[in-house]
Structure 1
């Protein structure tokens, strides 16, 4: 019975590839299949649905669970957790942050009729999380807080033994108590054995990351990122008949999808379809938009999963259009009493400082803390920008702002382009600014540089204000431009172009649309957001 469960829920039934897998699946869609920041993918299939999870770091709620029937169109159906309560850093208190840290590289699996999600957080206190749920839609239950295992892959063997594969193919075998939902206290006694898989060859440096362990047709497969010297990042596979080895190695993908010749597509997982064909989803770094998943056919050659088309390349039908993933990002009229799954807060939100019910059809955002910059402001709300081009527009009621309050719309990242409305006494000024954050080694904000590019007075406070950010990610341009309107029809450009940057020293993620409201003098003001719309081009 146990083996049957794994065959259905973990990897399906192994069959030789069909002509569809070899040829037809390479046609009819553009890569990246999700032209937005959805990195560190792991996937599984349960019945007719594919499920995928991703890294969201400092954004809350976190660990988005996404679902698809065709591996092309995805929708977010839940988040694994609402918030992380591991100290002031997660609450933006006293300049402390978890930018670029927090939840990383979750491992998603389905065993015994349950979903399991394992991840660890980068940064203090360096601990892990294990969640379970009967359904992908939740509710999710925190089972245990294990030790930190970098890029860990959660794996249960046919005999019920539980393993984590992490770092460069290191592994630990854990007690079976991990599955009994007792919240067992972790310690050295929880590890039954440690072992290592020999993974490096002579040209590889750094960690071989992104561990993904599977058992297919009775054989063990470990997929990892390889960082060879003087070459692009690639995906490698190790296989063995026993966890004790011997292990064999094969490069299964070594390609950079144009126009990014140095950004190899790697880190992800493979999955079978209900009809026995195989596919992989692996991501590519695309600068300002973030790390973007690509869909690849997977064919089996001599018992090895080989990714890509017949030439070993990531397929990309340039005659097709990119898919706009309206299931994971899109418009919001704020007409529900629950926040759309499109949105994530920057760090843990102050829940008493926002409401969807105090004014029906609006998201009310109240000031709750006096701060001096956007990067430590509570309750900034974000959603992904999407390539190749997108436009985000927000309609704001600013009539209840107080002296010193600041609100607006941003292309938000370590380098942010900001449309900021400042209330000065009874008058309001709109400015377009470029803001840069610097963090110390503890990821506390050490400096924020603000360069004002333009400003204009906003007449009165009774009428709504419309703010707009354009994002152009075509061919690596990564340019944000800005405009505003007082009537919702005629939009006036303001300020200058801004280069959107993927900065591994700060956010370590793609640029997001962000709506913010914070106080610099006194609490008590608020804004009402009528709607937010995303339009697409290309």
Structure 2
């Protein structure tokens, strides 16, 4: 009897332990699979209003950077997940007080908006529009990585337009919000062909109901198996941003619409397929201070309709290659060392508004970025030649070192986090003396939070950003030797505000408040994905 009991206990013990080992192995395999799969968001940084195409086995994407220049960034990828900047469609849209930050004017939150990227008969096209200039733009090139984009511009500014090359050789543009318009373009794309403009869909909001806060906009048109599919974003009042799809057998309609996705507020984008026949929808999500971040959702086809998501939900994991770091493809450190063949600025950099190219250089002093003053400014957001990069999530740190030897009375230079409610740390010259200053613009009130005297010509700054679970907090630090860091000022909140309409950006700045002709040399800018 005792032997039987002992044998039973041994069997139970062996079975339990075997199950534990099997469970551990299963969990390990599951963890391994998750570890080697892509996750959403595919880019944890401000890349809003995406438009995407595939050319053979390479994907290309355009996005919005509004008041930043150069503008309309173009990225490429081999796997839909890991992207790198390859060019911009333009250096500047033109010159005016609002674009040049002159006479107290600016174009924050405007500039150029949502673009439409297309590939047709060996040529890349990207269309966009600008409320700042009142114009519509179409850029084209055969080789975005090696050739410049040619620009066509015409009036008026067609809101959230999508350019579409049909199989019969006609070229169309769709635009507007709520009541959507369509027109055929001239053969040379120089404007709308007279007599072709008409209403495409009278009430594109209808599939989402009557109580709409944001009319259906962000049009992107696709043709799959002979049918036309029009993607739009809308926002029901009291709800979340929503994907709408309209379908038609003819580009002239009639159109039938469906609510295609309503989860996490992920919306605005379109369709992309892979060389092996899979389909995805690329969209974006508002995510607080870091900005609007791109997502992918799988697409299945049912009864001729694209069905977005998994059981109507946006998945965390994707059956695509694992995400790698956004460094160096989207942001990158820069030691400002340049050979003769190097471009002056890598693509990760953008200026806040149009730069004055006579007032900056990476050639005058080897290994340094020099920012000179050329006019008097009264506020940080109106100062010209602030050089910026995106912040990235879930957390990131930007740091720099400044040589202050050639500053003049009233000059102010340093490291910022740029948005309407900005924060910054810098050095001011007051009454012939240098002082370290932390400035905050929380809730619209700009104030000097803390200062400390400085008795040397070199200073190190860093800013730490926490975007985890929309914490949207940042802290600033300074160092006299680059090793020992001192916190300065207060923790700032980083809200996403519409007047600037973009995620927070690291920025290097220098401006004059009393005398022109001074300059500051930045030794480096380093970015990491940690705090």
Alpha-carbon distance in 2 for matches of 1:450, 1:170: 41
Given the superposition, is the C-alpha separation of residues 25 and 101 from structure 1 closer, same or farther in structure 2, using an over 3 Å criterion?
A: farther
1:454 pairs with one of 450, 460, 464: 450
Shift of 1:411: 1.1
Matched, 1:315 2:315: yes
Alignment-derived partner of residue 523 in structure 1: 516
Mapped contact 2:230–2:245 kept (Cα < 8 A):
yes
Q: 5 Å matches for 1:240-251?
A: 240-251=248-259
Matched, 1:200 2:194: no
Alpha-carbon distance in 2 for matches of 1:210, 1:99: 20
Q: Secondary structure at the match of 2:143?
A: coil
Mapped contact 1:396–1:527 kept (Cα < 8 A):
yes
Q: Secondary structure at the match of 2:217?
A: coil
Alpha-carbon distance in 2 for matches of 1:241, 1:411: 49
Alpha-carbon distance in 1 for matches of 2:116, 2:75: 13
Shift of 1:324: 2.7
1:168-227 C-alpha deviation (Å, 9 max, x unpaired): 352332343234xxxx4x5x7645232322423233523101100111111100000122
Matched, 1:533 2:530: no
Matched, 1:283 2:289: no
Alpha-carbon distance in 2 for matches of 1:374, 1:508: 18
Runs of 4+ in structure 1 displaced over 6 angstroms?
A: 24-27
Higher relative contact order (CA 8 A, sep 6+): 1
1:473 pairs with one of 449, 467, 492: 467
Gaps of 5+ in 1: 1-23, 257-263, 439-448
Alignment-derived partner of residue 211 in structure 1: 219
1:48-107 C-alpha deviation (Å, 9 max, x unpaired): 110111110100001000111111111000011001215211000011000000110011
Q: Secondary structure at the match of 1:534?
A: strand
Q: Secondary structure at the match of 2:42?
A: coil
Count of residues in Structure 1 that have an aligned counterpart in Structure 2: 486
Q: 5 Å matches for 1:85-234?
A: 85-123=94-132, 125-137=133-145, 138-167=147-176, 168=178, 170-179=180-189, 184=190, 186=191, 190-198=194-202, 199-201=204-206, 202-205=209-212, 206-234=214-242
Alignment-derived partner of residue 495 in structure 1: 489
Q: Secondary structure at the match of 1:537?
A: coil
Matched, 1:513 2:510: no
Q: State TM-score, norm by structure 2.
A: 0.88
Cα root mean square deviation, aligned = 2.0
Shift of 1:469: 0.3
Alignment-derived partner of residue 22 in structure 2: none
Mapped contact 1:153–1:164 kept (Cα < 8 A):
yes
Matched, 1:361 2:349: no
Alignment-derived partner of residue 237 in structure 1: 245
Matched, 1:395 2:401: yes
Mapped contact 1:266–1:283 kept (Cα < 8 A):
yes
Alpha-carbon distance in 2 for matches of 1:98, 1:25: 43
